[in-house]
């Protein structure tokens, strides 16, 4: 080959290599462009997510403040109700103690006026008879419930 042809061949070879490199560079640029677009889309999505997260965080903070206020209010109400209940219990206790004292004094007056011990004894006798009669009636009722009346009537 001639030197000019050899140089021409080298130049063509170099141009071919350069064309291939340019083609690869173009492909790489296209891929980079696509990647940049995806990164931009991702960036927009991230900005939206961060904005939403910020809003939710602010709402959460507001809710926490509201909840703390509600807890303080509930604590105050519970304390007030507890105090009122204790006052009412003390009042009821005083009333019950007063009534017990009144009943004691009435009982003592009643016992002093009653002076008849026989009355209590007679009442206990009546109660004994009452329980005996009740026991007899229950026993009779139980026996009548267990006895077959048709069998008894067949003997008569």
Q: Are 95 and 145 members of one domain?
A: no
Q: How far apart are the first and last CA of the chain?
A: 157
Does the pLDDT at position 74 exceed 60? yes
At residue 118 the predicted structure's pLDDT band, cuts being 50, 70 and 90, is low
In angstroms, the CA 154 to CA 150 distance is 6
pLDDT of residue 67: 93
Query: Which pLDDT belongs to residue 115?
Result: 59
Q: What kind and span of H or E run contains 31? A: helix 3-114
Quote the domain boundaries for residue 65.
Answer: 3-115
Tell me: do 88 and 128 sit in the same domain: no
Instruction: Determine what percent of the chain is predicted with pLDDT higher than 70.
Output: 88
Q: How many domains does the chain have?
A: 2
Distance from C-alpha of 29 to C-alpha of 21, rounded to nearest angstrom = 12
Q: What angle do CA 74, 76, 78 make, to 5 degrees?
A: 65
Spatial distance between the Cα atoms of 80 and 82, rounded to a whole number of angstroms:
5
- The pLDDT assigned to 8 comes to 86
Residues 132, 85 share a domain: no
State how far Cα 45 lies from the chain centre: 38
More confident residue, 142 or 76: 76
Q: Are residues 61 and 20 in the same domain?
A: yes
Instruction: Say whether both 34 and 74 belong to one domain.
Output: yes
Q: What is the pTM of this model?
A: 0.40
Claim to verify: residue 124 and residue 108 sit in the same structural domain: no
């Amino acid at each position: 080959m001639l030197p000019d042809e050899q140089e021409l061949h080298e130049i063509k070879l170099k141009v071919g290599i350069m064309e291939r490199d340019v083609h690869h560079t173009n492909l790489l640029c296209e891929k980079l462009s696509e990647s940049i677009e995806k990164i931009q889309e991702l960036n927009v999505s991230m900005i939206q997510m961060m904005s939403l997260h910020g809003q939710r965080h602010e709402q959460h903070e507001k809710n926490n403040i509201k909840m703390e206020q509600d807890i303080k209010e509930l604590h105050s109400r519970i304390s007030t109700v507890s105090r009122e209940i204790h006052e009412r219990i003390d009042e009821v206790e005083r009333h019950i103690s007063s009534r017990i004292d009144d009943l004691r004094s009435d009982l003592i007056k009643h016992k002093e006026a009653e002076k008849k011990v026989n009355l209590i004894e007679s009442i206990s006798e009546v109660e004994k008879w009452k329980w005996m009669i009740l026991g007899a009636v229950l026993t009779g009722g139980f026996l009548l419930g267990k006895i077959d009346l048709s069998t008894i009537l067949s003997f008569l």
